Amino acid sequence: SVVMLGALNPAQGHARQVEMQFLSLFVSLPMAAVTALVPTVRGLEGSAARALCAVARPEELAAGPARGWAARWRTALWFVLHVFFGGVVAGMTLAGAPFAVVLLFGFSGAQDLIRFWEDRFPGWILTGPTLGLAVLLLILAANAACGALLARLAPTLLGPTPEERLATAERRATVLAQRNRLARELHDSVGHALSAVGIQASAAARVLRTDPDFAAEALRAIEETARSAVAELDTVLGLLREEEAATDAAATDATAGPAGPTLAGLDDLLRQLARTGVTVDAELAPGLGALPAEVSREAYRIVQEGLTNVLRHAGPAPAGLRVALDAGRLEIELTNPLGPARPSRPGGGRGLRGIGERVTTLRGGSSAGPSEDGTTWRLVVWLPVGGTAR
């Protein structure tokens, strides 16, 4: 009210009024800066900026409290600019609008104001309506300029700090690592079981009438394989729930290995494959049960995926498997004759990539491809026994 009445009554002295108003505004800025150091102010100002400013990417603006002093100082600078521009715009609007009305309609004091400007700018042709219109345009331009400047500064001052961006990137990398690992577990465990079940069911259907005993054995194998697959699926889904809870608590270790079968269960895996017609000539080194659990789990999954690929691409063909310990590292070699070309499954081709990811995690190496004569497929993997996952 003081601003509006002062604008309508120019006899009080405009220069003095403007000085007092700017002095009051500048005195309030330090108090605004101190207030903005409160962590919750950052979230409030982020919401205000999203509502009032045309920010290019409003989702990047702060939605919660400041988590460090860098964020607090940025919020303080934003709040000071917000208060300052708000004071300037409010003062111009409250004082300038009545001032423009006085000039446009020739109210009391308008002629004095016109003479005031003519004395300082001789030769200018100024009239009340012209000057009033100019004041209105100036108010609109100031509003637009202050809003555009705040919108441009909002992502810098209210957006994530470098530390927050780094933390976000680390969380995203952790989540991606979890998803990739879970995808590998599901692909290798459930995918292997489904491939085995499919072949066993096909064999049982072919000999159902001619060899009922073999068909019954195949059905029992399907039951056992399905039961084993359900158990592994429960393990993987339990891991998923645990990792979701750990992610919410910001305490997930992306390199922690999931619970699951180890190389000690290779005999069961080979016996299961024998029921599908894949005979494996296995050469297993002694002492595999003493391997670190993480290495043993990943090695089992690599062997499982390699044998599943034999089942999928070569059919019921003999395979050779060698698992050896040499100079502090675990060596896996799997060979099988190349069978006739089979149509690829939609979405297939993830097996070798998953093996490569497992090997990279344990800082090992691998190679896969046909032999020189083109008659045998060979998969070779080596893993450091004492290596650290990454």
Query: Domain-by-domain residue ranges, the chain?
Result: 2-160, 164-384
> Is 39 in contact with 19 (CB distance < 8 Å)?
no
* Chain position carrying tokens 């919750």: 40
pLDDT at 347: 46
Secondary-structure breakdown of the chain: helix, strand, coil percentages, each rounded to the nearest 5: 65, 10, 25
Alpha-carbon distance of 216 to 208, in angstroms, equals 8
pLDDT at 206: 77
Mean pLDDT along residues 266-294: 84
Mean pLDDT along residues 16-21: 68
Mean pLDDT along residues 164-185: 78
> Is 293 in contact with 256 (CB distance < 8 Å)?
no
pLDDT at 116: 64
- Contacting residues for 274 by C-beta, under 8 A, at least 6 apart: 280
pTM across the whole model: 0.50
Banded pLDDT at 112 (limits 50, 70, 90):
low
Mean pLDDT along residues 178-191: 73
Best mean pLDDT range from 81-85, 269-273, 384-388: 81-85
- Tell me the HSE value of 165 on the side-chain side, using a 13 A CA sphere: 10
Provide the CATH topology of domain 164-384.
Heat Shock Protein 90 (3.30.565)
User: With 60 as the cut, is the pLDDT of residue 45 above it?
Assistant: yes
Structure tokens at 129: 């309506």
Mean pLDDT along residues 46-50: 85
Best mean pLDDT range from 39-48, 257-266, 269-278, 343-352: 39-48
Banded pLDDT at 307 (limits 50, 70, 90):
confident
- Contacting residues for 366 by C-beta, under 8 A, at least 6 apart: 355, 356, 359, 379, 380, 381, 382
User: With 70 as the cut, is the pLDDT of residue 253 above it?
Assistant: no
Helix (H, G, I), strand (E, B) or coil at 211: coil
Q: What pLDDT, in 10s, does the model give residues 313-338? A: 776 778 899 999 988 889 999 998 87
Dihedrals phi, psi of 383, to nearest 5 degrees: -130, 135
- Contacting residues for 211 by C-beta, under 8 A, at least 6 apart: none
Banded pLDDT at 256 (limits 50, 70, 90):
very low
